[in-house]
C-alpha cells in the first residue's frame, strides 16, 4: 500500500492555489482591506484572467500569489508548496525556481542588457534545461535587441523583453499584470501567442488585465470587486467574450 495520502485529483493538478487570502494595509489612521477572503485555483495548462475595477485588489492579489507580498491571512501554494508565511529570502528562492512574474513596473534590472537579465533569471534553475536567451528573444520578436539596455527599448519592446525574462526560468506558474497594456494589436498578439504556448506546455497562467483580447483567450475569468471574488465564469467550447468583460 502506498504511504502517499490519496489526495483529490484537483489538488494534484493545481499549480497555484490560494485559500482565504486577506490583506490589510495600514497608513496612519487609515486602514484598507484590499483582499477579503480570496480563494482560487489555477491548474496546469489553464489560463485565468483576473478582471475588476481600479482599486479592486488585483495587483495586491498578484503580489501575494507571487510571494512578493505577504497576505495578512490565508495561504498561497505553488505546486503544492506553501510560499506564503515564509521569510523574504525563502519566498524569493521559491519564486525564482517556480514562478515567472511580469509586472507593470517591469521586471528588468536597468543596468543589465536584455541578455544578462535573462541569464540572471536562469541562475536559480541551473541544472534544469533552459531556453537560450537568443531563442527567447526570437520568440518575442526582439532578436536584434539582445545587447540593448532597458532604457534603449520602447514601451512595447520593454513589455516583450519583460515577458522573455519572466519565461526564462521555465516557470510552473506565470503571473502577469497587464502584460499587453502598452502594446499595439500586432505586438499584443505576439505576447498572447507566447503565453498560450506556455499554457499548452503545462504552465498555469494568471493574468490581471483590462484587455478584451486577453479575456477572450482565457479559459476562465475571475472578477474581483472590493477585494472579493465576484461573478466568475468557466469557459467551455469556443472561447467567446460573452461573459465577464473588463
Ligand X SMILES: Nc1ncnc2c1ncn2[C@@H]1O[C@H](COP(=O)(O)OP(=O)(O)OP(=O)(O)O)[C@@H](O)[C@H]1O
User: Residue numbers of the site for ligand X (CB under 6 A)?
Assistant: 25, 27, 32, 34, 52, 54-60
Q: Which of 100, 67, 96 is nearest to 167 (CA)?
A: 100
Instruction: Output the smallest distance, CB 142 to ligand X, in A.
Output: 26
- Min. distance of Cβ 66 from ligand X in angstroms? 13
Distance CA 43, CA 63 (A): 19
Q: What is the spatial distance between Cα 236 and Cα 215, in angstroms, rounded to a whole number? A: 14
Q: CB 25 → ligand X: shortest distance, Å?
A: 3
Cα–Cα distance for residue pair 14/149, rounded to 1 Å: 37
Choice between 52 and 67, CB closer to ligand X:
52
Instruction: Between 32 and 172, name the residue whose CB sits nearer to ligand X.
Output: 32
Distances in Å between the Cα of 113 and the Cα atoms of 108, 144, 165 are: 9, 12, 11
What is the smallest separation between the CB atom of 50 and ligand X, expressed in angstroms? 9
CB of 224 to ligand X, least distance (A): 7
- Among residues 45 and 181, whose Cβ is nearest to ligand X? 181
Cα gap 156→165, rounded to integer Å: 14
* Distance, CA of 138 to CA of 141 (rounded, Å): 5
Task: Name every residue whose Cβ is closer than 8 Å to that of residue 76 and which is 6 or more positions away in sequence.
Answer: 16, 17, 18, 19, 21, 64, 65, 67, 82, 83, 84
* Nearest CA among 75, 16, 83 for reference residue 47: 16
Instruction: Using the minimum distance from each CB to ligand X, give the nearer residue, 23 or 145.
Output: 23
Task: Say if residues 201 and 127 touch (Cβ distance below 8 Å).
Answer: no
How far apart are CB 5 and ligand X at their closest, in Å? 36
Going from the C-alpha of 159 to that of each of 46, 151, 156, 179, 182, the distances in angstroms are: 22, 12, 5, 7, 8
Q: Which is nearer to ligand X, 53 or 201 (CB)?
A: 53
CB nearer to ligand X: pick between 48 and 56: 56
Amino acid at each position: 500500500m502506498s504511504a502517499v495520502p490519496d489526495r483529490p485529483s484537483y489538488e494534484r493538478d493545481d499549480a497555484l492555489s490560494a485559500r482565504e487570502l486577506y490583506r490589510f494595509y495600514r497608513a496612519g489612521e487609515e486602514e484598507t482591506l484590499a483582499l477579503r477572503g480570496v480563494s482560487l485555483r489555477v491548474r496546469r495548462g489553464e489560463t485565468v484572467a483576473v478582471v475588476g475595477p481600479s482599486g479592486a485588489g488585483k495587483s495586491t492579489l498578484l503580489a501575494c500569489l507571487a510571494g512578493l507580498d505577504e497576505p495578512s491571512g490565508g495561504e498561497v501554494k505553488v505546486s503544492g508548496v506553501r510560499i506564503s508565511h515564509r521569510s523574504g529570502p525563502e519566498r524569493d528562492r521559491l519564486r525564482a525556481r517556480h514562478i515567472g512574474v511580469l509586472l507593470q513596473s517591469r521586471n528588468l534590472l536597468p543596468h543589465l542588457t536584455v541578455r544578462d537579465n535573462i541569464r540572471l533569471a536562469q541562475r536559480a534553475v541551473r541544472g534544469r534545461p533552459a531556453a537560450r536567451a537568443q531563442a527567447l528573444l526570437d520568440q518575442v520578436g526582439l532578436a536584434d535587441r539582445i545587447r540593448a539596455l532597458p532604457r534603449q527599448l520602447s514601451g512595447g519592446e520593454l513589455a516583450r523583453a519583460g515577458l522573455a525574462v519572466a519565461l526564462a526560468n521555465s516557470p510552473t506558474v506565470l503571473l502577469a499584470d497587464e502584460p499587453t497594456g502598452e502594446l499595439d494589436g500586432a505586438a499584443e498578439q505576439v505576447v498572447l501567442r507566447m503565453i498560450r504556448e506556455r499554457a499548452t506546455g503545462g504552465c498555469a497562467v494568471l493574468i490581471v488585465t483590462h484587455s478584451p483580447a486577453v479575456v477572450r483567450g482565457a479559459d476562465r475569468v475571475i472578477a474581483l470587486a472590493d477585494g472579493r471574488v465576484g461573478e466568475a465564469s468557466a469557459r467551455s467550447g469556443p472561447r467567446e467574450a460573452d461573459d465577464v468583460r473588463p
